[in-house]
Amino acid sequence: MYLLLMICTAILLTEMSGTKRGQSIPTFNINAQTEQEIKDEIIIAAFIRDIEKAVQHFYTQNLSKNVTVYDYETSIISVEKLDGGLIQIKFGVVPQEGAHDPVGFDVMTYTIDSGGTKQMIGYQHVKTYHENE
């Protein structure tokens, strides 16, 4: 399982480094069929409002942009169990200005406990897409 997550993360990071406007990275799959795809869809659905709120705050404060976060532009980079029973989930997000204008790539890290309490523990703005890309 962890080997599969590592491979998927490597593929995602490779794709991200070459991604430009008009290209896409693997994200949420509305046509999920496999058990893993369905689990990913559930996790993203449970966190999407928290992710959207954090992304909108970052972009309005730092780049003066109003952005939207779509579940289909959100991916799970990694999931791991931490000491003490917390689960850590790392998401990759491509915020949009309008419906089809990606403005950047961000990575957010959350923890969740067995009671469902979520906490964002990290926000990293990885890349800004400029108009000429």
SS3 string, 87-105, reads: EEEEEEECCECCCCCECEE
pTM, two decimal places: 0.73
Q: Cβ distance 83 to 64 under 8 Å?
A: no
Give all domains of the chain, ordered by start, each with its CATH number.
2-128 (3.10.450)
For residue range 3-24, list pLDDT tens digits in order: 444 444 444 444 444 444 444 4
For residue range 75-117, list pLDDT tens digits in order: 999 999 998 899 999 999 999 988 788 999 999 999 999 999 9
The structure tokens listed for 21 are: 């406007």
For residue range 53-86, list pLDDT tens digits in order: 999 999 999 888 889 999 999 999 999 999 889 9
Find the DSSP H helices in the chain: 2-17, 35-62
